[in-house]
């Protein structure tokens, strides 16, 4: 369902982690903030994409009636 947008997210988060491992002089918090920012950005993009509707997130019993 969301595979196409998850690939760039996975690539960017992995790149962030790799750079963090290779540069021990940079504070960990910098990479944590970059990680959180990337995930928030992609989360907002997923919410705005309209792929998930409110009714699809409800239990089946609530959708029927």
Q: Tell me, what's the pLDDT at 22?
A: 95
pLDDT, tens digit, for every residue of 9-65? 999 999 999 999 999 899 999 999 999 999 999 999 888 876 555 555 555 555 555
**Distance between CA atoms of residues 40 and 25, nearest Å:** 26
Q: Tell me, what's the pLDDT at 48?
A: 85
Residues in the chain: 65
| One-character DSSP codes across the chain | --HHHHHHHHHHHHHHHHHHHH-TTS-HHHHHHHHHHHHHHHHHHHHHHT-S-TGGGS-HHHHH-
Q: Tell me, what's the pLDDT at 21?
A: 94
């Amino acid at each position: 369902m969301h595979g196409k947008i998850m690939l760039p997210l996975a690539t960017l988060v992995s790149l962030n982690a790799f750079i963090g491992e290779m540069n021990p002089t940079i504070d960990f918090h910098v990479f944590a903030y970059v990680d959180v920012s990337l995930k928030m950005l992609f989360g907002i993009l997923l919410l705005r994409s309209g792929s998930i509707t409110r009714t699809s997130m409800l239990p089946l019993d609530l959708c029927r009636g």
